[in-house]
Amino acid sequence: MKPYFIKTPHIFKIIFKNWVWSLSSKEKVLYLTFDDGPTPKITNWTLNKLKEYNAKATFFCIGKNIAEHPSIYQKIINHNHSIGNHTNNHLNGFKTETEFYLKNIDFPKNNPPQTSKLFRPPYGKLKLSQSKKIRKKGYKIIMWDVLSADFDTTITPKDCLENVIKNTQNGSIIVFHDSIKSQEKLQYVLPKILEYYSKKGYCFKAIN
């Protein structure tokens, strides 16, 4: 068994009810999210592909990557996508003391400004003590309903596509990564997902 769930078990959503796992399921709307950017070439490719389908998404950015690639970060904003915080150094909350973790979500002052108060913990790992204090800072903690597993080097691009198709429903928050590690799978899966669900009458919205 893989050390992660493709489809988030319903019990998780009940136990951690202060975290956002999916959104309204009344309409044909999906919420694509991209973690770990901005990354040259890959984030730009992603933005261009989304633009082809007039799709909006949410990018959970790493602070150090923003500092290294501010023009790409600004391009995400210019394309009217939402920005989320993914810590400055992609920290594992389980392995990090709360005080240090909280300091690591404050982006350096010389970075371009954040456009929202959305937060996603790297690896999905967050202590309850961290969660409580992050929410006191005004953040919404955004998790997911479907994990594409594009980061997993042991699966094929077709497996990744199947992960999404088999588990997505109205209102699903879906995780992808605009990173070098995930590039092959992302470039195979994202165009197919955009085409498949567009033909079914879905639209893609950013999380606010």
Alpha helices in the chain (DSSP H): 10-15, 42-52, 63-68, 70-78, 98-104, 128-136, 157-167, 183-199
Q: Is 184 helix (H, G, I), strand (E, B) or coil?
A: helix
Reply yes or no on whether 35 is catalytic: yes
How far apart are the two ends of the chain, measured CA to CA in Å?
A: 34
Instruction: Copy the structure tokens of residue 198.
Output: 């567009």
Catalytic residue among 35, 36, 145, 178: 35
Reply yes or no on whether 177 is catalytic: yes
What is the CA 145 to chain-centroid distance, rounded?
A: 11
Q: Quick one: 1 exposed, middle or buried, by C-beta within 10 A (0-12, 13-18, 19+)?
A: exposed
Catalytic residue among 69, 81, 86, 177: 177
Contact 85, 66 (CB under 8 A): no
Catalytic residues: 35, 177
